[in-house]
């Protein structure tokens, strides 16, 4: 085998290994817990048996529990009047995010990313300290503890808002990801 073929084969193997390692811990479905239902009414997030079906997604107000023990809930978006109305191009909405550390390790919440889209457009996050929209938490979260914060977005349409939650652990390549919809 020529040296260039060996390098190409090694590069391809490294890329495949890297992409495999970047897989989400969400490869196995988590659990959707409906408000007020407790764990008795929780259901697996996926009943799909082939690649043609998407896993079930939580709706606003549900709690989504990942297999690693982390859980998140996002309240239904509510319209509000921004302190900076000239900077809002659509409608200002805010919601409350609750993140619970159900693992045995302390978690760095600065590794949380929350994005939104609506009306086939990415929605811009609104930072408005007068309305309590100061960004996510910075303080490390010990096992068994929860943290809540409000987050706001400038949405194009209030009828089809999707909020994506991603948590990336600092000590692994795994990610917990879930999308909330109405």
How does the average pLDDT of the chain come out, rounded?
80
Residue 26 confidence (pLDDT): 43
Instruction: List, for residues 25-77, the tens digit of each pLDDT value.
Output: 444 578 888 887 654 445 555 433 344 445 578 999 999 999 999 999 999 99
Identify the band that residue 17 occupies on the pLDDT scale cut at 50, 70 and 90. Answer: very low
By CB atoms closer than 10 A (0-12, 13-18, 19+), residue 63 is: buried
* Whole-angstrom distance, CA of residue 112 vs CA of residue 147: 12
- H helices of the chain, in order, are 3-21
Class in CATH terms, 3-181:
mainly beta
Name the residue ranges covered by the structural domains of the chain.
Answer: 3-181
The number of residues in the chain equals 182
Report the C-alpha gap between 97 and 84 in whole angstroms.
22
Three-state DSSP at 153 gives strand
What is the SS3 assignment for 11? helix
pLDDT exceeds cutoff 90 at 93: yes
Residue 100 has pLDDT above 80, yes or no: yes
DSSP per residue over 83-123, as a string? S-GGG-SSEEEEEEEEEE--SSS-B-GGGEEEEEEETTEEE
Please state, in angstroms and rounded to a whole number, the distance separating the CA atoms of residues 123 and 166: 16
Say whether pTM exceeds 0.85.
no
For the stretch 120-139, pLDDT in tens is 999 999 999 999 999 999 99
């Amino acid at each position: 085998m020529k040296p260039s073929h060996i390098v190409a084969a090694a590069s391809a193997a490294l890329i495949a290994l890297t992409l495999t390692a970047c897989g989400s811990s969400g490869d196995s479905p988590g659990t959707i817990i409906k408000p007020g239902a407790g764990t008795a009414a929780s259901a697996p997030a996926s009943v799909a048996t082939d690649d043609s079906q998407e896993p079930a997604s939580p709706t606003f107000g549900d709690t989504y529990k990942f297999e690693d023990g982390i859980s998140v809930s996002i309240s239904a978006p509510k319209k509000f009047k921004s302190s900076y109305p000239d900077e809002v191009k659509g409608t200002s909405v805010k919601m409350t995010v609750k993140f619970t550390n159900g693992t045995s390790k302390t978690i760095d919440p600065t590794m949380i990313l929350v994005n939104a889209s609506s009306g086939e457009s990415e929605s811009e996050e609104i930072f408005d300290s007068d309305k309590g929209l100061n960004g996510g938490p910075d303080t490390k979260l010990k096992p068994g503890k929860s943290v809540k914060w409000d987050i706001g977005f400038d949405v194009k349409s209030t009828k089809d808002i999707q909020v994506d939650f991603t948590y990336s652990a600092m000590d692994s390549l795994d990610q917990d990801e879930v999308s909330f919809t109405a």
